[in-house]
Copies of this chain bind each other. A is one copy, B any other.
Amino acid sequence: MRRILPIFALLLPTMAIAAPGPSEIVAHAPDAAWADVPADRLLVMTLGDGTRIPIELAPQFAPAHTGNIIRLARAHRWDGGAIIRVQDDYVVQWAPHDEKANLPTGFIAHPPAEYDRPRQGIAVRPLGFSDPYAPAAGFAAGWPVGMDQDRVWLAHCYGMIGVARDMPPDTGDGQELYAVNGEAPRQLDRNLALVGRVLTGMDHLGALPRGTGALGFYANNARKVAIRTITLATDLPLGQQPHLQVMRTDSPAFAAYLDARANRTDPFYVHPARGVALCNVPVPTRAKP
């Protein structure tokens, strides 16, 4: 076993000096590598215990669904709602208190199945490694995606948010949403509308108690996690709006970060994989300096 190690061990001191690790690349990325998350596509979910979870929407991929979601937030439809389902290694799901109540003006009861979109009009940086779920994978406008020659679609990575639906593919209207909380369930790609991602706070959502009912639904209503509010950031007082940035996936810093994730040369590593899965390259986020 050890016979494979000396080569790497000998290389390590050089590599450690030559190539910074992913965290260092992110920490030292220039301001030009970061893009503000605009307040009009930023939701703030506040849980019963006061935890604030900022969510970025992806209107480039699901305009009808994100339109519905913005209308729902502005109408305070989730205030008093709850997290109703936590299935281990799968999803956290939430819903309004009453899904049948009057829906806001402009709400689309049966939005189209926004499961992918044309490649035209959106620039893509290829991952550069094979993807078992799609002909190719990469990053488009800051988001992890699968793609073929004509279409591009958001990928079910950790923290991505989608629209729950029943069996017919057009029944998800955006009232019930889920966030991925485990190994990327990429089999769901192109089968549900992904609409955004949790920017910070997965450490909280990921640690919620798992539901004991079928599919991780909370069998006991008392276990449900209360949602105080979900608000569009533009509707918050200026002082309460989060100011967050996401790394531009078309930046040189992101290219370096992606390369470092695939070729770990920080000193801990004796055997860099020389490859990486799409969802193991989380797009960096930071507070706006």
- Residue positions of A touching B, CB distance < 8 A: 1-2, 4-5, 9, 86, 88-89, 112-117, 127, 129-134, 157-158, 167, 169-170, 182-187, 189-191, 202-204, 206-210, 261, 264, 267-273, 275-277, 279-280, 282
Contact = CB atoms under 8 A, between A and B. Distances in A.
Contact of A183 (B183, B191, B209, B272): B183
A25 to B, nearest CB: 15
29 contacts: A1-B114, A1-B116, A1-B117, A2-B113, A2-B170, A5-B113, A5-B169, A89-B158, A115-B270, A127-B132, A129-B132, A132-B273, A132-B276, A134-B273, A158-B182, A167-B268, A182-B182, A182-B183, A183-B183, A184-B277, A187-B261, A187-B264, A187-B273, A189-B271, A191-B270, A191-B271, A207-B208, A207-B209, A207-B210
Chain A interface mostly helix, strand, loop or mixed? Answer: loop
A277 B269 CA distance: 23
A183 B186 contact: no
Nearest to A118: B1
Contacts of A169: 5, 9, 270
Given A184-B183, A191-B268, A271-B190, A203 B88 contact: yes
B158 A271 contact: no
A112 B2 CA distance: 7
A264 B157 CA distance: 18
A191 to B, nearest CB: 5
A105 to B, nearest CB: 24
A150 B129 CA distance: 22
Contacts of A2: 112-113, 170
Contacts of A272: 187
A91 to B, nearest CB: 13
A13 to B, nearest CB: 12
A5 B193 CA distance: 13
A185 B273 CA distance: 11
Question: Which of A88, A134, A279 has the largest number of chain B CB atoms within 10 A?
Answer: A88
Contacts of A273: 132-134, 186-187, 189-190
Given A112-B1, A132-B275, A183-B279, A267 B206 contact: no
Nearest to A8: B169
Contact of A206 (B130, B182, B271): B182
A152 B113 CA distance: 42
A277 B267 CA distance: 28
